[in-house]
Amino acid sequence: MSDHRNAASEDQRLSSYVFDLPESFIAQRPVEPRHAARLLAVEGPEGCSHHTVWKLQELLQPGDLLVVNNTRVLKARLQARRSSGGAVELLVLEPVHGSDWLCLAKPAKRLKPGEVLLLEHGAEASIPLEIVSVDEPTGGRVMRFPPECTSAEAIEALLARYGEMPLPPYIHQHSDDDDQRYQTRFASKPGAVAAPTAGLHLSDELLVAIRDRGVQMVTLTLHVGLGTFRPVETEDLSQLELHSEWVEVSDDCVEAVARCRARGGRVIAVGTTSVRSLEAVAQLHGGVLKPHTGPVNLVIQPGYRFAVVQGLLTNFHLPKSSLLLLVSALIGRQRLLSLYEEAKAEGYRFFSYGDAMWIAPEAVLASARPHQP
């Protein structure tokens, strides 16, 4: 019993979610085709097997439901100039009010409210952007964009002309094909500043094969923000709070989950963003999934019992990240870290453009599985 208590205690410490990852393991470019990425399959209480993502069509079963995030990444990285001539890089994060948007700025220290920056890109006409205020929690700046930029849909046209795809900072090789390669094939709702990366593996051909297998697919929306990838800094994870995220779980999504359960199928999330959307919305309603549009805030870590999600396709995540906590909640921290060591030994590629892991419902801890309806 004391061993169990000790393990549970270690699960609550951030320092227990550390692993060594030489930079050579961090994928700089995606493989082609999308479904040629490697897949580490975790199918039972022990062991794993090695495939490519193309194998997913066989690992899924007729009647299963695949839940994907249809968010579209904005070209949110902008180049601006101060009146003094100094260059400033902006990362557009989220709307605040009207045409005011929260942005991260680099360098930010001397940027004061009232200053006007000039947005520039190639031969495009410069656009003045006023600094409205400082956002203390993020260290960002609230910037006033042209008056029509009141939503992600409205600002997307401006960002398409002036912006660049906001690849994560650990990706040093940029390419012209990032504009389409850093989007999923079902990206339709603009608003993210990072891709829901597990979905990047699903090619058009694989999606057809999965449907032909008798697997249903439904979308939800979570606009991936910076908080998803920021390292957690709270050592005592019982005190952990995460940045809230905007989600939309529609009537169609709720009905698709209910139909899947009724026919004995399995609810499979593509990516941690789909997991967070389904679980956070269910927790708002006492463990029952209902339609919801708006912010959610849920920490998923070992000890959590899932309400909706039974299986997961995910990438390999950063040490000390909230995503590592989430996957640990499904299969246990120690098992996950040992699987990561096996992935390293096998030469898997990590992070956004890297390889994938399949966690079958049978591999999920009994204590974490949803109660049977």
What integer pLDDT is reported at residue 138 of this predicted model? 86
Cβ(76)–Cβ(140) under 8 Å? Answer: no
Cβ(249)–Cβ(292) under 8 Å? Answer: yes
Residue 16: which of 331, 339, 336 has the closest Cα? 336
Q: What is the pLDDT along the chain (373 residues), one digit of tens a residue?
A: 455 666 778 999 999 999 999 999 999 999 999 999 999 999 999 999 999 999 999 999 999 999 999 999 999 999 999 999 999 999 999 999 999 999 999 999 999 999 999 999 999 999 999 999 999 988 999 999 999 999 999 999 999 999 999 999 999 999 989 999 999 999 999 999 999 999 999 999 999 999 999 999 999 999 998 776 567 889 999 999 888 889 999 999 999 999 999 999 999 999 999 999 999 999 999 999 999 999 998 999 999 999 999 999 999 999 999 999 999 999 999 999 999 999 999 999 999 999 999 999 999 999 999 987 6
Looking at the domain covering 2-73+179-368, what would its CATH class be? alpha beta
Residue 213: which of 31, 91, 63 has the closest Cα? 63
Structure tokens at 214: 């008798």
Residue 358: which of 131, 119, 51 has the closest Cα? 51
Can you spell out the DSSP letters for 79-100?
EEE-TTS-EEEEEEEEEEETTE
- The torsion angles phi and psi of 213, rounded to 5 degrees, stand at -75, -15
Residue type, 178: D
Cβ(166)–Cβ(106) under 8 Å? Answer: no
What integer pLDDT is reported at residue 310 of this predicted model? 98
77-81 and 87-97 beta bridge pairing: antiparallel
CA atoms within 13 A on the CB side of 205: 8
d(CA 336, CA 339): 5
| Extents of the domains making up the chain | 2-73+179-368, 77-162
d(CA 156, CA 76): 9
Strands (E), the chain: 38-42, 49-52, 65-69, 71-73, 77-81, 87-97, 100-106, 116-120, 127-135, 140-144, 189-192, 216-222, 245-249, 267-270, 292-296, 311-315, 356-359
Q: 77-162 has which CATH code?
A: 2.40.10.240
Reply yes or no: is the peptide bond before residue 146 cis, omega within 30 of 0: no
What integer pLDDT is reported at residue 299 of this predicted model? 93
Examine domains 2-73+179-368 and 77-162 and report if their fold is the same: no
Using left for φ > 0, alpha for ψ between -120 and 50, and beta otherwise, residue 114 falls in: left
β-bridge mates for residue 217, sequence order: 66
